[in-house]
Amino acid sequence: MNIDQYMTDLGHRARSASRAMARASTAAKNAALEAVADAIVRERDALKEANARDLARARDKGHDAAFIDRLTLSDKALSTMVEGLRQVAKLADPIGEISGLRYRPSGIQVGQMRVPLGVIGIIYESRPNVTIDAAALCLKSGNATILRGGSEAIECNTALAKLIGEGLASAGLPQDAVQVVETPDRAAVGKLVTMTEYVDVIVPRGGKGLIARLMEEARVPMIKHLDGICHVYVDDRVDMSKALAICDNAKTHRYGTCNTMETLLVARGIAAEALPALARAFQAKEVELRVDAAARAVLEAAQVSGLVDATGEDWRTEYLAPVLAIKVVENVDEAIGHINEYSSHHTDAIVTEDHDRAMRFLREVDSASVMVNASTRFADGFEFGLGAEIGISNDKLHARGPVGLDGLTSLKYVVLGHGEVRQ
Amino acid sequence: MNIDQYMTDLGHRARSASRAMARASTAAKNAALEAVADAIVRERDALKEANARDLARARDKGHDAAFIDRLTLSDKALSTMVEGLRQVAKLADPIGEISGLRYRPSGIQVGQMRVPLGVIGIIYESRPNVTIDAAALCLKSGNATILRGGSEAIECNTALAKLIGEGLASAGLPQDAVQVVETPDRAAVGKLVTMTEYVDVIVPRGGKGLIARLMEEARVPMIKHLDGICHVYVDDRVDMSKALAICDNAKTHRYGTCNTMETLLVARGIAAEALPALARAFQAKEVELRVDAAARAVLEAAQVSGLVDATGEDWRTEYLAPVLAIKVVENVDEAIGHINEYSSHHTDAIVTEDHDRAMRFLREVDSASVMVNASTRFADGFEFGLGAEIGISNDKLHARGPVGLDGLTSLKYVVLGHGEVRQ
């Protein structure tokens, strides 16, 4: 197969389908989503058979249990997909909304209309649920999609794509609106992220390795985040019960998520009071503590042992594990400075009772989500009320933070005139 | 000079200054803008002397009259700069605005805060007015700026930069918030558009050649448009007086601007009535008409002569000159199809009295500005009410269409909690 030609054809068909999707009615898009949900219920056994073949191949290749788990289309996974499709069908359609339409002195009215981005490429690992989640959000937002999942999931992805195509067709929408790249060749990804004439944005879903590699190659803009080095700063004007609850939740609720706290900053004025209690709570859950010299001094004075000395590298590390870096800072200024230097600009929080410091932290910390007195774990499309989430962006242009349907759209200017000309 | 090191230093200082600019008060930013305006009034003679040295060198190099004109700091140009600075000082400060703050079922409040992008690189030709215009908008929006103007304007740009630095310092803001690249070496541009760690966005201001070259090299995202192939579609349900006025204005008000009409589409049903009148109006102003076969047939039947046959190339050409391509189309569907195929997605307009067609055109034409019954010449930051304009973007991500202060900002999520944790 000529990969270049194959991908160009896919891109050309996607661009063409994107025109029809941009003008598709809300009713047609919702009908397609419901039809896909119905089809997954109906074809549950066939999907599980396709998945069984993927799983057999993955086991032969020696993939580990976590990999197999993500690849498995269990009954629960299938039900979650069906539920997700029906939820996206219920979300308000963002397309066509006109905002800010105002008369100008020239007599024209100027406003902005929300429109689809066009063609969205999704690159992800062997997680078949992403096929449905991503397709649903792109479909609802009037975009065409090219899906490139991990090659180990190729059989169930192809089966799912067939159901999506039938769902689109049953609603009078073009089947090419959702296409799956059916070759495992890595060159297909290289082409997908560089064909700027056919693809408007790439959303990579996966680990840091995948995203770093794509950043090297891509010419198409990406909605992405590389890592989540999230901070909680415990100020000295603090309600200790809030600080304990928030720090515990931010670190131990889930270790492997991008909005998990990786570095704890504590104000010097409260360190002797706060650090021992915090450290004991973490150690009770077997979290390894990597501390700076000031934190070690405070903790040893309080008979807390089993500490590891932090190195410069720890301030830049996303552990995704029961490990926490701890540093004592002078005050909110030093905390903001440390965060703006070392944070991955994902999510950072302050715990304080002081209004001015809370407001300064909110304004000055340069991250996608900045929080006062709340756990970093809230940085999530559902928790933020977006209804769904295609991913999280740490970038400043276009979408920032959790990205929902609106992040898959753009605003164009619309002008309503009555024959006006420019003087 | 080691260009790489020089640019890295500039970038490092800009990043550092951007932190201070992000927290700068509205009063301080406005005071700096007013101080620069006052300084330009005071230093008028010194600025003109620096400019005279630039002009002498440019004449020696044999630059043409248009070039010399753009390079000249006339009294009028200086007054326009001063006025521009004072106008930007009067604009509302976009930074810190919080929108959409709502309670979520978890108890947290979630909203979005408008914040600066960070560091903005401006690359432009030898037009000293851009130095002031761009610096003023970046300063007001809380960004740090690195300015890289054409090397022929180096003396007056350096003199202007000195006044800007003094204005910043007088308001207690960091002088590094506006820096001018003081080497004419082209390698400085190559470095500027690739140092993603120090520069958040590049705004190129200049001709298609400059922008196409930068698109090849850049790794930093750009706010830019490459060209303006703008269309007017005259529908068959049309008020002829509006059609004549709008087409005349869209083409002949200014020939060299990016929002000038380059292709006229006319519905077959009105061609015999509309085309001869339109053609005579254009020919009276010596506009060359490049027509398809159907338009030629209609025009020759009406005794209009002096026509040129359009080739495929004409539908893709931005003339920036008294030349107009004309094509007869079947209906609004064919017009939308032609525009989505050939437009540069800058600005396109329909002239029609039919509501459904107007609404379909508005929704389905995939351009940054889409207009009903108004001249394409209105696509402009001031006409749209943005108060100022750093440029126009044809891209879909981030800002689209005329870009004002808001386009130099980003939205981050802010969360206000009371000790909430995620369940």
Contact present, B235 and B350 (Cβ < 8 Å): yes
Q: Whose CA is closest to B251, among B340, B370, B344, B376?
A: B376
pLDDT digits (tens, 9 = 90+) for A32-65: 999 999 999 999 999 999 999 999 999 999 999 9
Sequence-distant (6+) residues with CB within 8 A of B225 are: B211, B258, B344, B346, B368, B391, B392, B393, B394, B395
Residue A76 and residue A178 share a domain? yes
Which residues of chain A does B411 touch, with a Cβ-Cβ cutoff of 8 Å?
400
In a domain, A357, yes or no: yes
Burial of A76 (0-12, 13-18, 19+ CB in 10 A): exposed
pLDDT at residue B72, as a whole number: 94
Q: Quick check: A414 contacting B, CB < 8 Å? A: yes
A384: nearest CB among B110, B118, B370: B110
pLDDT-above-70 percentage for chain A = 100
**Residue of B108, B415, B418, B423 to mutate, interface with A, max A Cβ within 10 Å:** B415
Calculate mean pLDDT across residues B178-183.
92
Residue A168 and residue A301 share a domain? no
In A316-389, the DSSP E strands lie at 323-329, 347-351, 369-374
Residue A127 and residue A39 share a domain? yes
How close is the nearest chain A Cα to the Cα of B164, in Å?
A: 24
In this structure, what CATH number is given to the domain that contains residue B78? Answer: 3.40.605.10
Q: Cα–Cα distances in Å, from B323 out to B251, B254, B256?
A: 9, 12, 11
pLDDT tops 80 at residue A1? no
Q: Quick check: A226 contacting B, CB < 8 Å? A: no
Nearest CA in chain B to A254: B422
Query: The tokens of A114 are what?
Result: 């929300």
pLDDT digits (tens, 9 = 90+) for A162-206: 999 999 999 999 999 999 998 888 899 999 999 999 999 999 988
Identity of residue A304: V
Return d(Cα B81, Cα B219) in angstroms, integer.
Answer: 32
pLDDT digits (tens, 9 = 90+) for B247-261: 999 999 999 999 999
Q: Quick check: A242 contacting B, CB < 8 Å? A: yes
Calculate mean pLDDT across residues A378-400.
91
pLDDT at residue B66, as a whole number: 87
pLDDT digits (tens, 9 = 90+) for B43-62: 999 999 999 999 999 999 99
How close is the nearest chain A Cα to the Cα of B420, in Å?
A: 5
Return d(Cα B284, Cα B281) in angstroms, integer.
Answer: 5
Residue A234 and residue A362 share a domain? yes
Residue B178 and residue B47 share a domain? yes
Give me the number of domains chain A comprises: 2
Q: How many CB pairs under 8 A join A and B?
A: 223
pLDDT tops 80 at residue B277? yes
Q: Quick check: A346 contacting B, CB < 8 Å? A: no
Nearest CA in chain A to B239: A419
Return d(Cα B165, Cα B179) in angstroms, integer.
Answer: 8
Q: Quick one: pLDDT band at residue B146, thresholds 50, 70, 90?
A: very high
The residue range of the domain holding A257 is 230-383
pLDDT digits (tens, 9 = 90+) for B20-30: 999 999 999 99
Contact present, B420 and A240 (Cβ < 8 Å): no
pLDDT tops 80 at residue A82? yes
Binary contact (B412, A400; C-beta < 8 A): yes
> What average pLDDT is seen over chain A?
95
Residue B32 and residue B160 share a domain? yes
How close is the nearest chain A Cα to the Cα of B195, in Å?
A: 14
Which residues of chain A does B398 touch, with a Cβ-Cβ cutoff of 8 Å?
397-398
Q: Quick one: pLDDT band at residue A72, thresholds 50, 70, 90?
A: very high
How much of chain A is helix, strand and coil, in % rounded to 5?
Answer: 50, 20, 30
**Residue of B97, B115, B120, B350 to mutate, interface with A, max A Cβ within 10 Å:** B115
In a domain, B388, yes or no: no
Map residue A227 onto helix, strand or coil: coil
Bridge pairing between strands B98-103 and B109-116? antiparallel
Binary contact (A370, B415; C-beta < 8 A): yes
pLDDT digits (tens, 9 = 90+) for A131-172: 999 999 999 999 999 999 998 999 999 999 999 999 999 999
Calculate mean pLDDT across residues A261-267.
98
Sequence-distant (6+) residues with CB within 8 A of A79 are: none
pLDDT tops 80 at residue A269? yes
**Residue of A95, A108, A418 to mutate, interface with B, max B Cβ within 10 Å:** A108
pLDDT at residue A210, as a whole number: 87
In a domain, A394, yes or no: no
Calculate mean pLDDT across residues A260-269.
98
pLDDT at residue B210, as a whole number: 87
pLDDT at residue A183, as a whole number: 87
pLDDT at residue B387, as a whole number: 85
Residue B214 and residue B72 share a domain? yes
Calculate mean pLDDT across residues B410-418.
97
Bridge pairing between strands A391-393 and A401-403? antiparallel
pLDDT digits (tens, 9 = 90+) for B287-308: 999 999 999 999 999 999 999 9
B367: nearest CB among A367, A412, A416: A412
pLDDT tops 90 at residue A230? yes
ipTM over 0.90: yes
Calculate mean pLDDT across residues A246-272.
97
Nearest CA in chain B to A260: B422
Which residues of chain A does B373 touch, with a Cβ-Cβ cutoff of 8 Å?
416-420
Residue B239 and residue B216 share a domain? no
Q: State the helix-helix crossing angle for A355-364 and A332-342, rounded to 10 degrees.
A: 20
- More reliable by pLDDT, A13 or B208: A13
Residue B179 and residue B120 share a domain? yes
DSSP label at residue A290: E
Which residues of chain B does A198 touch, with a Cβ-Cβ cutoff of 8 Å?
none
In this structure, what CATH number is given to the domain that contains residue A320? Answer: 3.40.309.10
Calculate mean pLDDT across residues B107-130.
95
> What average pLDDT is seen over chain B?
95
pLDDT at residue A276, as a whole number: 98
Calculate mean pLDDT across residues B49-78.
93
In a domain, A35, yes or no: yes
B419: nearest CB among A104, A245, A379: A245
pLDDT at residue B228, as a whole number: 92
In a domain, B391, yes or no: no
In a domain, B39, yes or no: yes
Residue A370 and residue A258 share a domain? yes
Nearest CA in chain A to B387: A104
Query: The tokens of A354 are what?
Result: 């002081």
pLDDT tops 90 at residue A409? yes
Residue A235 and residue A217 share a domain? no
In a domain, A420, yes or no: no
In a domain, A397, yes or no: no
* H or E segment and range at residue A108: none
pLDDT digits (tens, 9 = 90+) for B318-364: 999 999 999 999 999 999 999 999 999 999 999 999 999 999 999 99
pLDDT tops 80 at residue B1? no
Residue A167 and residue A44 share a domain? yes
Bridge pairing between strands B109-116 and B409-420? antiparallel
Contact present, B243 and B234 (Cβ < 8 Å): yes
Q: Quick check: A417 contacting B, CB < 8 Å? A: yes
